[in-house]
Every structure is written in structure tokens, then in C-alpha cells.
Structure 1
Amino acid sequence: MRLFICLLVFLASTAQAQKKMAITIDDLPTVSKAYTSPAGRLQLTQKLLSHCTTFQVPAIGFVIGNFLLTNERPDSNQIGLLTLWLKAGLDLGNHTLAHKDYNLISFNQSKADIIGGESIVKNLVQQQAKPFRYFRHPYLRKGDTQAKKDSLEQFLQRLGYQEAPVTIDNSDWQFSRAYDHALLVGDTALATQIGRQYVGYMLDCVAYYEAQSDSLFNRQISQTLLIHANTINSDWLGKLLAELKQRGYAFVSLDAALTDPAYRSTDHYYGKGGISWLHRWALTRGKKGVFFKGEPEVPAMIDELANRAVNLPGR
């Protein structure tokens, strides 16, 4: 009997350990209203990298090309932040030059935005003898017509890009805006409250998309989490990663996550929404309303703080 119980415990722990997640981080080098000086951006970057190092996360960051420019010229401080990512052993990908919404621009404008996004970061990555092959769609939007979707996919293939999907979508950016507000007005108690709410919200998002995975594939697929290089993650990502690890997740590279057969699922979705690939696959399979219910919502307090104007200098 004891042997049988031990076997059950072993099988349960093994099943837990099989949960895998790739951490993908958008809007590099940084996006923050609280950390706006070169020293502040460096501090934010060092914090993010410290979390990744502590939890051995092989993250990939997606770079907005315009963030590397000051007065339309390359900014050595900003470019230096990307060098820190590469020296930490992490990968970088293309998030376009200006982060334009593909649904609001033409295909030709999108092509220019994609190519412009390569202008600095591609050479920087290749100088480190690392591959530069992943593309992340701004706002996760791939086109609101079949023709635009097809044109973009074919263009990315011609350039040798692989699309970087997202299965666990969320609104971490709203929490970070609210968090920036609290820091800028010096309300550390409010900042802590927002940080704790953020971790809880993100764990709820993970649980929701785990349920979506079970419903669609009858198993837990290798998940891809989208977060941003923002203020709240610089302070609270470590807590989130610790909780995810406690829930049985192993952190893997995007390369490794995409070996899961789920990512070869057909995606016929096009439309105005930038949505999770789990939802794209579900819609392609004909899933309707009730399947999608229950996605966690951002609390009203967070939404209000995120949109409150604060005219104070950053750090």
C-alpha cells in the first residue's frame, strides 16, 4: 500500500512538472512612465534580467525599433540595454519600428514598419552569433481581412520570420500604468496593493487559459505568456515566477514551447481583435460564446488609476 501511494505521489508530481511556459516580453528596451531617465531605464532592465536569472527563465524580448532612437538617431544608452539582454543569454525579436496597428494601416505600411524594426536590433543580435527569427505582432493583430492576414503571413515567411504566438494574453500594461501612477505620487502602500493584485490577476489568467487548453486539446499545452518590459514586472515578476514554479511550471525557451504539436493547429481567424492563439484555434474549430466565458477582468480601480493623468517627472 505504501509503495502504491508513493507511486501515485510520484506520478502526480511528474504530471505537474510537465507544465511548460515560455516567457515573452514585449516593448523593449523599456516602457515606463516612472523610469524615464537613462539611469532609471538601466535600473528597470537590470531588475527584469535579475528575475530571469534567478528563476533560470530563457526569455525572449521583442524590440520596438523607435525606442532605440533619440531625435531620430541611434541612442547608445538604449542600445546598451539590449546588449545586457544578449549578454544575459536571452533572445531578441522584432516588434516593428513604430508598433503600428495593422488593422489601421495598409499592408505596404506594415511592410515598412517590419523592415524598419530590423534596422538596429538585427545586426546587434547577429554580432552575438545568435539567431534573429521571431516576429511579434503589435497588439497581436494580424489583419481584419483574409487578404491582409494572408499577405502579412506570406511576407513574414519570405523574410524568414516565424510568428511568435501568445496563448496567455492579459492586460499587464494596465496594472503597470496604475503602478506608475502610485510610484509617481509617492504612494508606496498603493503601489504594493497594486502589485499584489497584479500577481493574483496574472495567476487567474494562467488558470483561465489552462482551462481553455484542457477544453480544446484535452491536455496542458506548452503555454506562451505575454508580458511587457514595464515597471510592475521589474518589481513583481519574481513573485509571479515563484508562484508559477510552485504551480508546477518549468520555464522553457520559445523554441522549445513551439515544438508542442498544438502550435501546428490551423488558424483561420482574422478580425479587429488581438486575441490569444488558443482563442484563434478555438474559433477556427467553430467554438462559440460559452467556450470563451470567464476571462479575468481588470479591476475598475486599476483601470481608473491607469487612465489618471500624472504630470510628474520619472526617475
Structure 2
Amino acid sequence: MRLLIILILFLAYTAQAQKKIAITIDDLPTVSKVYRSPSGRLQLTKKLLSHCTTFQVPAIGFVIGNSLLANHQPDSSQINLLKLWLDASFELGNHTLAHKDYNLISFSESKEDIIDGEQIVKNLVQQRGKPFRYFRHPYLRKGDTQAKKDSLEHFLQQRGYLEAPVTIDNSDWLFSGAYDNAILLGDTTLATQVGKQYVAYMLNCVAYYEAQSDSLFNRQISQTLLLHANTINADFLGELLAGLKQQGYTFVSLEHALTDNAYQSVDHFYGKGGISWLHRWALTRGKRGTFFKGEPEVPAMIDELANRTLNLPSR
């Protein structure tokens, strides 16, 4: 009996230790109401990279091309931030030029946005001898009609891109908006409260999508987590990564995560929503209603603070 208990505990530990997650970070170089100056953006970038380096996270960042321009010309200070990512051996991908919502534009306009998003970052990456291969859909929207979805998928394949899926969707951007406002109000206590709630919320999101994985595949797949290069992750990504590690996760590259055959699952979903690939696969398999219940909600206080209009004195 004792040997049986030891075996069960060992198998449980092994299963937990085999959990894998890829960290993907959108909206590079930075998106923040706090870190807005060149020196501030540099500070935010260094913080993000420090967290990833400390926890040996092979992260990938997705770049919005417009963020590399000032007055329609290349902005060296912004481009230098991407060089820091490359210097740290992280991969970069395309997040379009202007982050347009595919539901609101034509396929032709979307193609142009993708191609224009390559102009600076693709050359920068390839000069380092690194691959430029992944595309991240703005708002996770792949098309609200079958024709638009099919057209975009075919174009990306022709262009040599691999789609960068997201299995763990969340609202980190909303928490960061609340965190930005707390800092701008000078309320450090409130900012800390928002940060702590953020880490707890994100770990709850991970647990929710773990349950979705179990329900759909009867196992834990290699997960892909969506984050943004924002203020709250600059300050709290380390705590989040520590929490994931404590829960048994190993950090892997997006390339490694996509070797999980779950990512070969059929996705027939099209619609206005930008949703997790786990939910795309579930809807394709006919899952409805109760299957999707239990997704963590953003607290009303966070939503209100994020959307609050601040009347701050000009600086």
C-alpha cells in the first residue's frame, strides 16, 4: 500500500512538472501611460527583459510597426528597444503596422497592414540571422466571415508566416490601465492592490484554461499565454512567473509549444470575437453552454479605475 501511495504521488508530481507554457508578449516596443518618455520606455523594456532572463523564459515579442515611427520616419530610440530584445536572444514577430481590427477592415486592407508591419522589424531581425516567422492577430480576430478567415489564413501561409495562437486569453491590458491610473494619481497603495489582484487573476485564468484543456483533450497541453509590454507586467511579471513556476510550469519557446499535436486541431470558428484557441477548437467540436462557464472576470473596481478619466495637472 505504501509503495502504491508513493507511486501515485510520484505520477502526480511528474504530471505537474511536465506542464509547459510559452510566454508571448504583444504591442512591442511598449504600451504605457506611465513610461512615455524614451528613458521611461527603456526602463520598462529592461524590466520586462530582466523578468524573462531571471526565470529563463524564452519569450517572443510581437511588434506594432507604427510604434517604431515618429513623424512617419524610423524612431531610433524605439528601434533600439527591439535591439535589446534581440541582444537578449528573444524572438520577434509581426503584429501588423497599425493593429487594425480585422472585423472592421477589408481583407485587402489587412494584407497591407501585415506587409507594412514588416518594413523595419523584419530587416532588423534577419540582420541578426534570426527567423521572422510568427504573426499575431490583433485582438485575436481571424475574421467574422468564413471567406475573410480563409483568405487571411491562405495569405499568411503564402507569406511564410505561422499563426501565433493563444490558449490562455485574459485582460492584462485592463489591469494595466487601472495600474497606470493608480500610479498617475500618486496612490501607491492602490497601485500595489491592483498589482496583487492582477497576479491572482492571471493565475486563476491559467487554472481555468487548464480545466478547459483537461475537458477537451483529457490532458494538459502546452499552453500559450498572451501578455502585453505594459506597465503592470514591467512591475509584476516576476511575481506571475514565480507563481507559474510554483504551479509546476516549465517555460518553453513558442516553437516548442506548437509541437504539441493539440495545435493541429481543426478551427472552423469565425465570428466577431477574439477568443482563445482552446475555445475555437471547442466550438468547432460542438461544445456549447456550460463547457465555457467559470472564466475569471475582471473585478468591477479594476474596470472602473482603468476607464476613469483623470484630471491631472499638466507637466
Fold match by TM threshold 0.5: yes
Work out the CA distance in 2 between the residues paired with 1:310 and 1:62: 30
Work out the CA distance in 2 between the residues paired with 1:274 and 1:311: 32
1:262 aligned partner: 262
Task: Classify the secondary structure of the residue corresponding to 2:255.
Answer: helix
Tell me if structure 2 keeps the 8 A contact 1:66–1:97.
yes
TM-score by length of 1: 0.98
2:236 aligned partner: 236
Shift of 1:175: 0.2
2:88 aligned partner: 88
2:300 counterpart of 1:303: no
Work out the CA distance in 2 between the residues paired with 1:300 and 1:173: 15
Task: Classify the secondary structure of the residue corresponding to 2:309.
Answer: coil
TM-score by length of 2: 0.98
2:246 aligned partner: 246
AA matched with 1:119: Q
Shift of 1:14: 1.3
Tell me if structure 2 keeps the 8 A contact 1:149–1:270.
yes
1:139 aligned partner: 139
Tell me if structure 2 keeps the 8 A contact 1:144–1:270.
yes
Task: Classify the secondary structure of the residue corresponding to 1:228.
Answer: strand
2:122 aligned partner: 122
Work out the CA distance in 1 between the residues paired with 2:194 and 2:95: 28
Percent pairwise identity: 81
Q: Once the two structures are superposed, what CA deviation does each residue of 1:112-166 show, in whole Å capped at 9, x if it has no partner?
A: 0000100000000001110000000000001100000000000000000000000
AA matched with 1:260: D
Distance 1:235 1:314, change over 3 A: farther
2:27 aligned partner: 27
Shift of 1:6: 4.0
RMSD between aligned alpha carbons? 1.4
2:164 counterpart of 1:164: yes
Shift of 1:312: 4.5
Tell me if structure 2 keeps the 8 A contact 1:97–1:117.
yes
Where does structure 1 differ by over 3 angstroms across 4 or more consecutive aligned residues?
A: 1-9, 311-315
Shift of 1:301: 0.5
2:33 counterpart of 1:55: no
Shift of 1:313: 8.3
Task: Classify the secondary structure of the residue corresponding to 1:233.
Answer: helix
Shift of 1:219: 0.5
1:43 aligned partner: 43
Shift of 1:309: 1.7
Shift of 1:11: 2.2
Structure 2, unaligned runs of 5 or more: none
Work out the CA distance in 1 between the residues paired with 2:186 and 2:89: 35
Structure 1, unaligned runs of 5 or more: none
Q: Once the two structures are superposed, what CA deviation does each residue of 1:3-58 show, in whole Å capped at 9, x if it has no partner?
A: 55444333222111110000000000000001000000000000000000000000
1:226 aligned partner: 226
Work out the CA distance in 2 between the residues paired with 1:8 and 1:208: 24
Shift of 1:189: 0.3
Work out the CA distance in 1 between the residues paired with 2:312 and 2:27: 22
Distance 1:145 1:242, change over 3 A: same
Task: Classify the secondary structure of the residue corresponding to 2:238.
Answer: helix
